[in-house]
């Protein structure tokens, strides 16, 4: 075997080992920190690295409008203004998005834990593909995925793009609105569950 | 950075990485699994990844079509160059390396990555300061290219004959032409949907 080929084979073995380690260690690089108090059930099942107190919650201004939406599902309210007085988590998601789906158990825990304390979730469903735009598919997926909170249909993704700065918008993305409708917290992607939990607690503790 | 690298490796099994991975794999095979084009792929993809987290560019439909046309043309030229005398200049190592870098860069503009824990943190952090997130994003992009490195190493370990390399290049070029051609005729969403269903069925 030539030197070049031996090097290639050794490199191949190393790459396979590294890739294998990446899959074996799946999740261990997901440092979900416990909330300072009232830790929900799911937080105890994930690796704990450090204690998280409430993150900084600067006032980022009044939330944008819902633009060109096609209606609401699972809801008696038809606008965010009707939810003023509550702490609201607005999550951009689509049911076919793997990372969005990964966040839903934690959203469900938040909903169950804080709903009675003046907390609400609004899931803005912005479909990536045409099959995700069918209302029947959304309803079926919501049932399967345990999404019991209000869903806004943003079929043309006008709200999806108008809320998110810059030319690229992302799923999943969560915004927390305080009781006055001001954006106070924002996170893109999975993770930071305990931080989000702590932020919800802090916002609920603020006077209305 | 290691966590971002590992998350990207895991994402290579997901359809969301295919629009970056397929053109990069095609290019690596077409250029014979050589190190210089592979390095150019890495550099092009990292630059594209930085542009992605800077959130300053998103291709319009027309730009997507034009970029598809550009990549389809580049692939066609690379595949045809050894057989067409007036395209001989496109068969040089320098031309291969430059083409590989451009294709990888354009492919990152097509890419819709899975936004997991690490990439989510990078994107969230980039809104408060881009500089600190550049190493993490580079690590993420390089992790997504691990299958390309694997293919390059396999090709070098097998050390195929020039004829075999050329035939592999034709096959890879065909796949690349389908992908880039679909974009060139405005079928980006259909392509992503098809890839998604194909890889999850």
Asked if B9 and A22 come within 8 Å (Cβ–Cβ), the reply is yes
CA distance A60 to chain B (A): 13
Residue A174 forms beta bridges with which residues?
A: A91, A187
Half-sphere exposure (CA, 13 Å, Cβ side) for B90? 18
pLDDT at A177: 97
Q: Which of B157, B159, B194, B200 to mutate to test the interface with A (most CBs of A within 10 A)?
A: B157
CA proximity to B69, closest of B168, B188, B198? B188
Asked if B116 and A130 come within 8 Å (Cβ–Cβ), the reply is no
* Domain extent for A82: 53-205
CA distance A184 to chain B (A): 14
* Total number of domains constituting chain A: 1
Contacts of A189 in chain B (CB under 8 A): 115-117, 119-121, 123-124
pLDDT over threshold 70, residue A38: no
Q: Does residue A141 lie in a domain region?
A: yes
Nearest by CB to residue B114, choosing from A15, A99, A168, is: A99
Residues B90-131: pLDDT tens digits?
778 899 999 999 999 999 998 888 899 999 999 999 988 888
Q: Does residue A22 lie in a domain region?
A: no
Q: Please give the mean pLDDT across all residues of chain B.
A: 89
Q: Does residue A1 lie in a domain region?
A: no
Residues B23-71: pLDDT tens digits?
999 999 999 999 999 999 999 999 999 999 998 888 888 998 999 999 9
- β-pairing, A183-188 vs A119-125, is unpaired
Contacts of B120 in chain A (CB under 8 A): 99, 187-192
Contacts of A199 in chain B (CB under 8 A): none
Q: Does residue A198 lie in a domain region?
A: yes
Q: Does residue A120 lie in a domain region?
A: yes
Among A39-43, A131-135, A187-191, B58-62, the range scoring the smallest mean pLDDT is: A39-43
What A79-86 contacts at long range (C-beta under 8 Å, 24+ apart), as own/partner pairs, is A80/A122, A80/A177, A80/A181, A81/A181, A83/A120, A83/A122, A83/A177, A83/A181, A84/A179, A84/A180, A84/A181, A85/A118, A85/A179, A85/A208, A86/A118, A86/A119, A86/A120, A86/A179
pLDDT at A19: 84
Question: Quick one: which H or E segment has residue B70?
Answer: helix B61-80
Nearest by CB to residue B10, choosing from A26, A168, A186, is: A26
Three-state SS sequence of A151-189: EEECCCCHHHHHHCCCCCCCCCEEEEECCCCEEEEEEEC
The A-side interface with B (CB below 8 A) comprises 2, 4-5, 7-9, 11-12, 15-16, 18-19, 21-23, 25-26, 29-30, 96, 98-99, 102, 128-131, 165-168, 170-172, 186-192
Q: Does residue A15 lie in a domain region?
A: no
User: Which CATH number do you get for residue A106?
Assistant: 3.40.30.10
CA proximity to B44, closest of B134, B115, B113, B109? B109
Among A19-23, A174-178, B145-149, B157-161, the range scoring the smallest mean pLDDT is: A19-23
Q: Does residue A32 lie in a domain region?
A: no
- β-pairing, A151-153 vs A72-73, is antiparallel
The Cβ of residue B185 has, within 10 Å, a number of other Cβ atoms equal to 13
**Predicted structure pTM score:** 0.84
Give backbone dihedrals phi and psi of B56, rounded to 5 degrees, phi first: -115, -10
Residues A91-122: pLDDT tens digits?
999 998 889 999 999 999 999 999 999 999 99
Complex ipTM? 0.76
pLDDT over threshold 50, residue A44: no
User: Distance between the two ends of chain A, CA-based, in angstroms?
Assistant: 74
Judged by DSSP in three states, A134 sits in coil
CA distance B77 to chain A (A): 29
Nearest by CB to residue B124, choosing from A25, A96, A188, is: A188
Residue A46 pLDDT class (50, 70, 90 cuts): very low
Q: Does residue A116 lie in a domain region?
A: yes
């Amino acid at each position: 075997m030539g030197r070049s080929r031996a090097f290639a084979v050794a490199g191949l073995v190393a790459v396979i080992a590294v890739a294998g380690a990446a899959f074996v260690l799946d999740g261990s690089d997901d440092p979900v920190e416990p909330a300072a108090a009232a830790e929900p059930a799911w937080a105890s099942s994930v690796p704990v690295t450090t204690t998280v107190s409430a993150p900084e919650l600067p006032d980022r201004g009044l939330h944008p409008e819902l633009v060109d939406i096609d209606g609401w599902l699972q809801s008696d309210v038809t606008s965010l203004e009707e939810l003023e007085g509550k702490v609201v988590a607005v999550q951009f998601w689509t049911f076919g998005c793997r990372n969005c789906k990964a966040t839903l158990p934690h959203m469900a825990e938040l909903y169950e834990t804080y709903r009675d304390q003046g907390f609400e979730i609004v899931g803005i469903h912005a479909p990536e593909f045409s099959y995700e735009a069918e209302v029947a598919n959304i309803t079926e997926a919501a049932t399967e995925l345990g999404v019991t909170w209000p869903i806004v249909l943003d079929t043309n993704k006008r709200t999806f793009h108008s809320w998110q700065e810059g030319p690229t918008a992302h799923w999943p993305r969560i915004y927390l609105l305080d009781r006055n409708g001001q954006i106070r917290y924002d996170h893109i992607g999975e993770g930071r569950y305990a931080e989000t939990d702590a932020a919800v607690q802090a916002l609920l503790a603020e006077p209305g | 950075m290691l966590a971002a690298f590992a998350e990207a490796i895991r994402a290579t099994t997901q359809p969301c990485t295919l629009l970056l991975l397929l053109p990069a794999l095609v290019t690596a095979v077409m250029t014979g699994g050589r190190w210089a084009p592979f390095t150019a792929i890495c550099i092009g993809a990292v630059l594209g990844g930085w542009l992605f987290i800077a959130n300053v560019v998103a291709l319009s439909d027309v730009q997507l079509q034009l970029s598809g046309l550009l990549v389809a043309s580049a692939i066609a030229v690379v595949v045809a160059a050894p057989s067409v005398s007036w395209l001989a200049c496109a068969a040089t190592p320098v031309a291969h390396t430059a083409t590989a870098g451009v294709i990888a860069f354009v492919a990152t503009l097509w890419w819709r990555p899975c936004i997991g824990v690490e990439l989510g943190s990078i994107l969230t952090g980039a809104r408060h300061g881009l500089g600190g997130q550049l190493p993490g994003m580079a690590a993420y992009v390089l992790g997504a290219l691990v299958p390309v490195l694997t293919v390059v190493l396999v090709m070098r370990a097998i050390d195929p004959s020039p004829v075999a390399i050329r035939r592999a290049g034709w096959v890879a070029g065909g796949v690349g032409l389908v992908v880039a051609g679909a974009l060139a005729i405005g079928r980006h969403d259909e392509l992503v949907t098809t890839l998604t269903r194909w890889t999850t069925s």
